[in-house]
Amino acid sequence: MQLKDLKVIVTGGAQGMGAHFAQRLHEAGAQVAVGDVAEDKLAALPAGIHRRKLDVSSEEDITSFVSWAHGAMGGLNGLINNAGILRDALLVKKDRATGQVKKLSTADWNAVIGVNLTGATLMVREVVARYAESGQTGGGVVVNMSSIARHGNRGQSNYVSAKAALAANTVTWSREFAPFGIRVGAVAPGMIETPMTQGMNQKARDALVSSIPVGRIGLPEDIWLAVKFILECDYFNGRTIDVDGGLNF
Protein backbone atom coordinates (compact mmCIF):
# COMPACT_ATOMS: atom_id res chain seq x y z
CA MET A 1 0.00 0.00 0.00
CA GLN A 2 1.28 3.46 -0.85
CA LEU A 3 1.44 5.83 2.11
CA LYS A 4 -0.51 8.49 0.24
CA ASP A 5 -3.47 6.11 0.05
CA LEU A 6 -3.68 5.65 3.82
CA LYS A 7 -6.46 7.00 6.01
CA VAL A 8 -4.87 6.01 9.27
CA ILE A 9 -5.31 6.39 13.02
CA VAL A 10 -2.26 6.79 15.26
CA THR A 11 -2.94 6.26 18.96
CA GLY A 12 -0.67 7.84 21.55
CA GLY A 13 0.34 10.25 18.81
CA ALA A 14 0.80 13.52 20.70
CA GLN A 15 4.47 12.93 21.51
CA GLY A 16 7.35 10.48 21.19
CA MET A 17 7.20 7.79 18.53
CA GLY A 18 3.52 8.33 17.82
CA ALA A 19 4.02 12.00 16.95
CA HIS A 20 6.96 11.06 14.73
CA PHE A 21 4.86 8.45 12.90
CA ALA A 22 2.03 10.95 12.40
CA GLN A 23 4.36 13.59 11.00
CA ARG A 24 6.04 11.15 8.60
CA LEU A 25 2.69 9.88 7.36
CA HIS A 26 1.40 13.41 6.88
CA GLU A 27 4.55 14.36 4.93
CA ALA A 28 3.97 11.34 2.66
CA GLY A 29 0.45 12.49 1.80
CA ALA A 30 -1.54 10.18 4.06
CA GLN A 31 -4.62 11.33 5.92
CA VAL A 32 -3.89 10.97 9.63
CA ALA A 33 -6.09 11.07 12.73
CA VAL A 34 -4.19 11.25 16.02
CA GLY A 35 -5.61 10.46 19.45
CA ASP A 36 -3.96 10.87 22.84
CA VAL A 37 -4.88 11.56 26.47
CA ALA A 38 -2.34 14.42 26.42
CA GLU A 39 -4.80 16.79 24.78
CA ASP A 40 -2.57 19.85 25.30
CA LYS A 41 0.26 18.27 23.29
CA LEU A 42 -1.99 17.48 20.31
CA ALA A 43 -1.94 21.16 19.36
CA ALA A 44 1.77 20.91 18.49
CA LEU A 45 1.11 18.51 15.61
CA PRO A 46 1.43 19.88 12.06
CA ALA A 47 -1.59 21.57 10.51
CA GLY A 48 -3.62 19.17 8.41
CA ILE A 49 -3.46 16.29 10.89
CA HIS A 50 -6.81 15.47 12.46
CA ARG A 51 -6.55 15.35 16.24
CA ARG A 52 -8.79 14.60 19.18
CA LYS A 53 -8.49 13.45 22.78
CA LEU A 54 -8.52 9.66 23.09
CA ASP A 55 -8.27 7.48 26.19
CA VAL A 56 -7.76 3.92 24.94
CA SER A 57 -8.61 2.55 28.39
CA SER A 58 -12.20 3.66 27.71
CA GLU A 59 -14.29 1.54 25.34
CA GLU A 60 -16.72 4.43 24.89
CA ASP A 61 -13.86 6.76 23.94
CA ILE A 62 -12.50 4.24 21.43
CA THR A 63 -15.85 3.71 19.72
CA SER A 64 -16.49 7.44 19.49
CA PHE A 65 -12.98 8.22 18.22
CA VAL A 66 -13.04 5.59 15.46
CA SER A 67 -16.41 6.85 14.27
CA TRP A 68 -15.14 10.44 14.29
CA ALA A 69 -11.90 9.54 12.47
CA HIS A 70 -13.82 7.61 9.80
CA GLY A 71 -16.00 10.64 9.14
CA ALA A 72 -13.14 13.17 9.28
CA MET A 73 -11.05 11.28 6.74
CA GLY A 74 -13.86 9.95 4.57
CA GLY A 75 -12.89 6.37 5.30
CA LEU A 76 -10.44 4.36 7.34
CA ASN A 77 -7.93 1.75 6.19
CA GLY A 78 -5.09 1.88 8.69
CA LEU A 79 -4.21 1.81 12.38
CA ILE A 80 -0.94 2.26 14.23
CA ASN A 81 -1.57 0.90 17.71
CA ASN A 82 1.02 2.96 19.56
CA ALA A 83 -0.54 4.11 22.85
CA GLY A 84 1.13 2.62 25.90
CA ILE A 85 2.10 3.21 29.52
CA LEU A 86 4.57 1.77 32.04
CA ARG A 87 4.01 0.87 35.68
CA ASP A 88 7.19 -1.09 36.39
CA ALA A 89 7.68 -3.09 39.59
CA LEU A 90 8.75 -6.56 40.62
CA LEU A 91 5.82 -8.91 41.09
CA VAL A 92 7.12 -9.69 44.59
CA LYS A 93 9.98 -7.83 46.29
CA LYS A 94 11.55 -8.23 49.72
CA ASP A 95 13.23 -5.18 51.22
CA ARG A 96 16.79 -6.10 52.17
CA ALA A 97 16.87 -3.78 55.15
CA THR A 98 13.42 -4.29 56.69
CA GLY A 99 12.44 -7.68 55.30
CA GLN A 100 9.10 -6.22 54.25
CA VAL A 101 7.51 -7.96 51.27
CA LYS A 102 5.98 -5.72 48.61
CA LYS A 103 3.79 -6.84 45.73
CA LEU A 104 2.96 -5.38 42.35
CA SER A 105 -0.34 -3.63 42.93
CA THR A 106 -3.45 -4.83 41.18
CA ALA A 107 -4.07 -1.23 40.15
CA ASP A 108 -0.72 -1.04 38.33
CA TRP A 109 -1.36 -4.42 36.69
CA ASN A 110 -4.81 -3.35 35.50
CA ALA A 111 -3.63 0.07 34.29
CA VAL A 112 -0.98 -1.38 31.98
CA ILE A 113 -3.16 -4.22 30.71
CA GLY A 114 -6.04 -1.80 30.23
CA VAL A 115 -4.08 0.55 27.97
CA ASN A 116 -1.45 -1.68 26.34
CA LEU A 117 -3.57 -4.76 25.68
CA THR A 118 -7.30 -4.25 26.18
CA GLY A 119 -7.24 -0.76 24.68
CA ALA A 120 -5.08 -1.87 21.77
CA THR A 121 -7.34 -4.85 21.13
CA LEU A 122 -10.50 -2.75 21.17
CA MET A 123 -8.91 -0.27 18.77
CA VAL A 124 -8.24 -3.11 16.32
CA ARG A 125 -11.75 -4.46 16.77
CA GLU A 126 -13.44 -1.12 16.13
CA VAL A 127 -11.24 -0.11 13.18
CA VAL A 128 -11.67 -3.45 11.41
CA ALA A 129 -15.41 -3.54 12.15
CA ARG A 130 -15.83 -0.05 10.72
CA TYR A 131 -13.85 -1.03 7.62
CA ALA A 132 -15.99 -4.15 7.12
CA GLU A 133 -19.27 -2.29 7.70
CA SER A 134 -18.43 0.55 5.32
CA GLY A 135 -17.89 -1.74 2.34
CA GLN A 136 -14.46 -0.26 1.60
CA THR A 137 -12.21 -2.02 -0.87
CA GLY A 138 -8.49 -1.92 -1.56
CA GLY A 139 -7.37 -3.50 1.67
CA GLY A 140 -6.11 -2.16 4.95
CA VAL A 141 -3.27 -2.54 7.43
CA VAL A 142 -2.81 -2.62 11.20
CA VAL A 143 0.57 -2.09 12.89
CA ASN A 144 0.78 -3.12 16.53
CA MET A 145 3.56 -1.70 18.69
CA SER A 146 4.86 -4.64 20.69
CA SER A 147 8.24 -4.57 22.47
CA ILE A 148 11.45 -6.55 22.74
CA ALA A 149 10.37 -6.93 26.38
CA ARG A 150 7.80 -9.48 25.20
CA HIS A 151 10.51 -12.11 25.58
CA GLY A 152 10.57 -11.42 29.32
CA ASN A 153 12.06 -8.59 31.36
CA ARG A 154 12.59 -8.24 35.09
CA GLY A 155 10.20 -5.82 36.77
CA GLN A 156 7.73 -5.68 33.88
CA SER A 157 5.26 -8.53 34.37
CA ASN A 158 2.35 -6.31 33.32
CA TYR A 159 4.10 -4.74 30.33
CA VAL A 160 5.59 -8.06 29.17
CA SER A 161 2.18 -9.74 29.32
CA ALA A 162 0.57 -7.03 27.22
CA LYS A 163 3.30 -6.81 24.60
CA ALA A 164 3.67 -10.60 24.26
CA ALA A 165 -0.08 -10.89 23.76
CA LEU A 166 -0.02 -8.19 21.07
CA ALA A 167 2.69 -10.06 19.17
CA ALA A 168 0.75 -13.32 19.40
CA ASN A 169 -2.49 -11.67 18.34
CA THR A 170 -0.74 -10.10 15.38
CA VAL A 171 -0.62 -13.65 14.02
CA THR A 172 -4.20 -14.37 15.11
CA TRP A 173 -5.63 -11.22 13.58
CA SER A 174 -3.70 -11.61 10.33
CA ARG A 175 -5.62 -14.85 9.85
CA GLU A 176 -8.98 -13.57 11.04
CA PHE A 177 -8.90 -10.41 8.91
CA ALA A 178 -7.63 -11.99 5.71
CA PRO A 179 -11.18 -12.18 4.27
CA PHE A 180 -11.40 -8.39 4.60
CA GLY A 181 -8.08 -7.86 2.84
CA ILE A 182 -6.51 -6.43 6.00
CA ARG A 183 -2.91 -7.22 6.92
CA VAL A 184 -1.56 -7.10 10.47
CA GLY A 185 2.07 -6.65 11.46
CA ALA A 186 3.95 -5.62 14.57
CA VAL A 187 7.13 -3.76 15.48
CA ALA A 188 8.98 -4.56 18.71
CA PRO A 189 11.24 -1.64 19.68
CA GLY A 190 14.11 -1.94 22.08
CA MET A 191 15.21 1.13 24.01
CA ILE A 192 14.10 4.22 22.10
CA GLU A 193 14.64 7.90 22.88
CA THR A 194 11.19 9.07 23.96
CA PRO A 195 9.73 11.04 26.89
CA MET A 196 9.01 7.67 28.51
CA THR A 197 12.64 6.48 28.45
CA GLN A 198 14.03 9.94 29.25
CA GLY A 199 12.47 9.60 32.67
CA MET A 200 14.47 6.47 33.47
CA ASN A 201 16.96 6.27 36.33
CA GLN A 202 20.29 7.34 34.80
CA LYS A 203 22.22 4.37 36.21
CA ALA A 204 19.71 1.91 34.79
CA ARG A 205 19.68 3.78 31.48
CA ASP A 206 23.48 3.66 31.18
CA ALA A 207 23.56 -0.04 32.00
CA LEU A 208 20.97 -0.77 29.32
CA VAL A 209 22.79 1.28 26.68
CA SER A 210 25.99 -0.65 27.41
CA SER A 211 24.17 -3.87 26.46
CA ILE A 212 23.21 -2.60 22.98
CA PRO A 213 25.75 -3.76 20.37
CA VAL A 214 25.23 -0.76 18.10
CA GLY A 215 26.23 1.42 21.06
CA ARG A 216 23.31 3.82 21.22
CA ILE A 217 19.68 4.28 22.10
CA GLY A 218 17.31 3.99 19.17
CA LEU A 219 15.53 6.98 17.67
CA PRO A 220 11.88 7.26 16.63
CA GLU A 221 13.07 7.36 13.00
CA ASP A 222 14.60 3.89 13.43
CA ILE A 223 11.19 2.55 14.40
CA TRP A 224 9.42 4.53 11.69
CA LEU A 225 11.46 2.73 9.04
CA ALA A 226 10.08 -0.61 10.28
CA VAL A 227 6.53 0.74 10.50
CA LYS A 228 6.83 2.15 6.97
CA PHE A 229 8.01 -1.23 5.67
CA ILE A 230 4.95 -2.98 7.11
CA LEU A 231 2.60 -0.35 5.73
CA GLU A 232 4.08 -0.49 2.24
CA CYS A 233 4.93 -4.18 1.81
CA ASP A 234 1.76 -5.97 0.79
CA TYR A 235 3.40 -9.36 1.29
CA PHE A 236 4.26 -8.73 4.94
CA ASN A 237 1.66 -10.19 7.30
CA GLY A 238 1.35 -11.80 10.72
CA ARG A 239 4.92 -11.20 11.87
CA THR A 240 6.79 -9.03 14.37
CA ILE A 241 9.95 -7.08 13.49
CA ASP A 242 12.45 -6.58 16.35
CA VAL A 243 14.22 -3.21 16.15
CA ASP A 244 16.52 -3.11 19.16
CA GLY A 245 20.10 -2.60 18.01
CA GLY A 246 20.82 -6.24 18.88
CA LEU A 247 20.00 -5.67 22.57
CA ASN A 248 21.33 -8.39 24.87
CA PHE A 249 18.98 -9.10 27.76
Residue 210's CB is within 10 A of a number of other CB atoms, namely 9
Phi, psi (degrees; rounded to nearest 5) at 90: -65, 145
Q: Catalytic residue, from 159, 173, 177, 224: name it.
A: 159
Q: Tell me, yes or no, if 159 is annotated catalytic.
A: yes
Q: Which amino acid is at 47?
A: A
**Mind telling me the catalytic residues?**
159
